[in-house]
Amino acid sequence: MSNQEPQENLDTVIAELEKKCVELPNSLLAHHNLAMVYRKAGRQADALTKLNKSLEIDPLSMETHVNLGALFFEMGDLDKALAANTKAVEICQESAQAHANIGLIWQQRGEADKAIESYTESTRHDPKLATTWVNLTTAHIMAANFDEALTAAQRAIDLDPDFSMAQNNLAVAFYYKNDFTAAQLHAEKAKSLGFPVDPRFDEAIAEGIAKS
């Protein structure tokens, strides 16, 4: 019953928003909101249709381009995700979320330097996005910039001390700085917050402590 009730509530919201879209066919807000609920319900094709409808109504809706990019990313189409977020940046250069999304695309493609550039731009426009600092940490680790990784991870933890991935990434950065005791401390903290720390990482930390 507990699993069914949220779905029933979601179906009710969808029905109400679908009715609103019929009543207000030229309402950007109505179509965009329905797209977001479709996406939450896992109805990606329907979400894509409504986001495209939103752009027909307002081609310069930055938020719609950002969400379209996020949807394409979820669907595995990185080229279209990049194009949508790039368009969002063209509309609003200060969109921290669009820059962060572009960074994630470059990270997914293994382009660490490009990811770092985009994440850094995102933090310049909104330094309070903890997730961006976490992803910047990962990109710096990919690029073997371990001092910068430590700084980025600490910024994420300063913003959200209970961000389990930030604790894990800080542990990884400390590991590559050969500070195995600090790495173990933050790995344990990450686990206490529910992060699935790789057992092989635990073993590597233990080996580092034993040798130091």
Average pLDDT, the chain: 95
- What are the tens digits of pLDDT across the range 45-69? 999 999 999 999 999 999 999 999 9
Closest CA to 184 of 149, 166, 208: 208
CA distance 153 to 130: 9
Show the beta-strand stretches assigned E in 92-144.
none
Give residue 9's pLDDT band: very low, low, confident or very high (50, 70, 90): confident
User: pTM for the complete prediction?
Assistant: 0.90
Question: In this structure, are residues 46 and 30 in contact, taking their beta carbons and an 8 Å threshold?
Answer: no
State phi, psi for 27 to the nearest 5 degrees: -90, 110
CA distance 111 to 99: 15
